[in-house]
Amino acid sequence: MRDFSSDHRFLSINTATVRKQGDFVAIVEACARHGIRAVSPWRDQVAHVGLDRAVKAVRDAGLDLSGYCRGGMFTADAAHRQQARDDNRRAVDEAKALSAPCLVLVVGGLPQYSRPGSAPSRDLAAAQAMVEEEIAALLDYAKSANMPLAVEPLHPMYAADRACVNSTRQALDICDRIDPAGSGVIGVAIDTYHVWWDFELFDQIRRAGRKRLLAFHVCDWLVPTRDLLLDRGMMGDGVIDLPKARATVEAEGFGGYVEVEIFSEDWWARPMDEVLATCIERFRTVV
């Protein structure tokens, strides 16, 4: 297990963590100022400044990417399916332009939430089948762009509206069916917030192995959690055993950036420099 106590060279900041404090260019500049070597951008934040300007900002700051957030929202009714496909191909293109190591996929829940306007459905199994079919279709395009796809299982409390893939087992089952050879073009993004509760997590990380472990995200689960979406915790403020999770992915050979992704009204209300300094301090002490 890597020693993070003396530097933060393996820290990446997911730009959602400070999305309210500045635009994408400001975030990139602040990260560079704090000696942070990598970011993981969200598409809407990139779109806000324009893709070309985002690419230039990252290049000028000398930053790496640890991922690109996000493709997905595959579930749609027939009238919205092509829109979803086109949107996902653009996400691959953007990830490529930004030299991201992978495109993270938040797969979508029921179609009426993933692609608003779609006919309402309660058929979660149908949504899951559609997700798999659409990932398989996108993979051909992603392969031609040499852009790995990272399926991110989301916490089950998001099953209806954000992602109907909710455990590492489920995500790996999909990967194994789509890519039985384990070529590395498709894998998983492990976000501790989404999967920490799972009694099978460590077994499934071992099952994934190095080729399927494309991204590793950290934040913390607060007790109480006051909001399903915007009350994630800073590492160390909650109950997740982060070192154990990191040790397990690293035992499989994961040597990439550890990405901090926190959606929190509390942390969004603080100055960007304070948030980044706290991320660095916690990264060195509790991750």
Distance CA 64, CA 46 (A): 15
Given 32, 170, 182, 281, the residue binding a second copy (CB under 8 A): 170
Given 62, 78, 122, 146, the residue binding a second copy (CB under 8 A): 122
Q: Annotate each residue in 192-221 with x if it binds a second copy (CB under 8 A) or - if it does not, as one string.
A: ----xxxxx-x------------------x
Under rule CB under 8 A, residue 159 binds a second copy: yes
Which long-range CB contacts under 8 A does 168-176 form with residues at least 24 apart? 168/195, 168/198, 168/200, 168/201, 168/204, 168/205, 168/208, 169/198, 169/200, 169/204, 169/207, 170/128, 172/204, 172/207, 172/208, 172/212, 174/131, 174/132, 174/135, 175/151, 175/212
The residues pairing with 163 across neighbouring beta strands, listed in sequence order, are 108
Distance CA 194, CA 190 (A): 8
Given 136, 143, 176, 225, the residue binding a second copy (CB under 8 A): 225
Mapped onto helix, strand or coil, the DSSP state of residue 257 is coil
Given 86, 123, 265, 274, the residue binding a second copy (CB under 8 A): 123
Q: For the CB of residue 212, give the shortest distance to a second copy in the complex, in Å.
A: 18
Distance CA 133, CA 179 (A): 12
Q: Quick one: which segment of 19-27, 190-198, 206-214, 260-268 binds a second copy (CB under 8 A)?
A: 190-198
Distance CA 38, CA 259 (A): 9
Q: Annotate each residue in 230-259 with x if it binds a second copy (CB under 8 A) or - if it does not, as one string.
A: --------xxxx------------------
Total of residues contacting a second copy (CB under 8 A): 33
Q: Please, which residue, 55 or 159, has the CB nearer to a second copy? A: 159
Residues binding a second copy (CB under 8 A): 110, 113, 122-125, 128, 155-157, 159-161, 164-167, 170, 196-200, 202, 221, 223-225, 228, 238-241
